[in-house]
Amino acid sequence: MTEHISFEQLGREVIQLEADALNALTKRLDGQFVKACEMVLACQGRVIVTGMGKSGHIGGKIAATLASTGSPAFFVHPGEASHGDVGMITPIDIVLAISNSGETEEILTILPIIKRLGVKLVALTGGMDSSLARQADAVLNVGVEKEACPHNLAPTASTTAALAMGDALAVALLKSRGFTPEDFARSHPAGRLGRRLLLYVSDIMHTGAAVPQVSETASLREALLEMTGKGLGMAGVVDKTGHLIGILTDGDLRRVLNRGVDVYAAKITEVMTHNPKTTRADRLAAETVQLMRSLKINGLFVVDDNNLVLGALNMHDLFRAGVI
């Protein structure tokens, strides 16, 4: 009868083994890592990442991380490189080659071309005496004592170590370059962070005839019609020169009805909220979200330095824009 297997225990053992491999990796960071960082910083071209098999998958992720954090990079498959793709590599680039053994045939095949071009080479390998390591300008030791695979065959702990080293390199370069969240957002315009850091109020707000507003001489009924027609849950009240002097919201309406005010007879100036909170067109949309949440309101008018109305927006607009 097959012995009962605890999947939870097996999972913990794998994670612990890989955690131990990463802990050992931190102790091996030395001057070679510093040299690799300096080489990439000095590079006038791109970082060309290459690797075969599982190392190639890790290389693709490392290239993507470098590219999104300020170090232009892309992945080149070493097998395809020897059939024409090596032409993507120029003398001003730097190559980051990943091979656990350091003897991957497809990588070794293109090394003479790389060296002939004068391209700098950084190796991520566990074979410190390998062919790859001997030809590299900087060698990052990502070797592990054993794989998480019980047969010590499937790349597991070794690929985790290589991925962590790639992340260490990318983040060290990011901090050295002074890479900011705004820089990151420009590389991720379709992502949540990109929208939060690149969208301004002016990109989202309603303008022109879509802005719900009435004059200070309007009746409450006229303001209600304007608020309902524009669908923002509020109506601004402006003086004869277009300056915002008040606002009527859904909450104001409920309070008016609770007081028994005659909706048909009341003037808007009698029931509006005076001197309402506002925002500016050049303010980040994400900042406006925080303002609205802190004030516990659902909409804001957008004004200029003279309090002239430029637009309006509400939480639904911010939600549709992906800022929330």
- The three state secondary structure string of 83-148 is CCHHHHCCCCCEEEEEECCCCCHHHHHHHHHHHHHCCEEEEEECCCCCHHHHHCCEEEECCCCCCC
pLDDT confidence of residue 322 = 78
Supply the pLDDT for residue 97: 97
Domains of the chain: 7-179 (3.40.50.10490), 201-320 (3.10.580.10)
What's the pTM value of the predicted model, to 2 decimals?
Answer: 0.62
Highest mean pLDDT among 56-70, 118-132, 242-256: 118-132
Q: Please check the confidence at residue 112 and state whether its pLDDT lies above 50.
A: yes
Is the pLDDT reported for residue 191 higher than 60? no
Number of H helices, E strands in the chain: 15, 12
Question: Contact, 162 vs 57, CB < 8 A?
Answer: no
Reported as a pLDDT band with limits 50, 70 and 90, residue 261 is: confident
Instruction: State yes or no: pLDDT of 1 exceeds 50.
Output: no
Identity of the residue numbered 95:
V
Give the whole-number percent of the chain exceeding pLDDT 70: 91
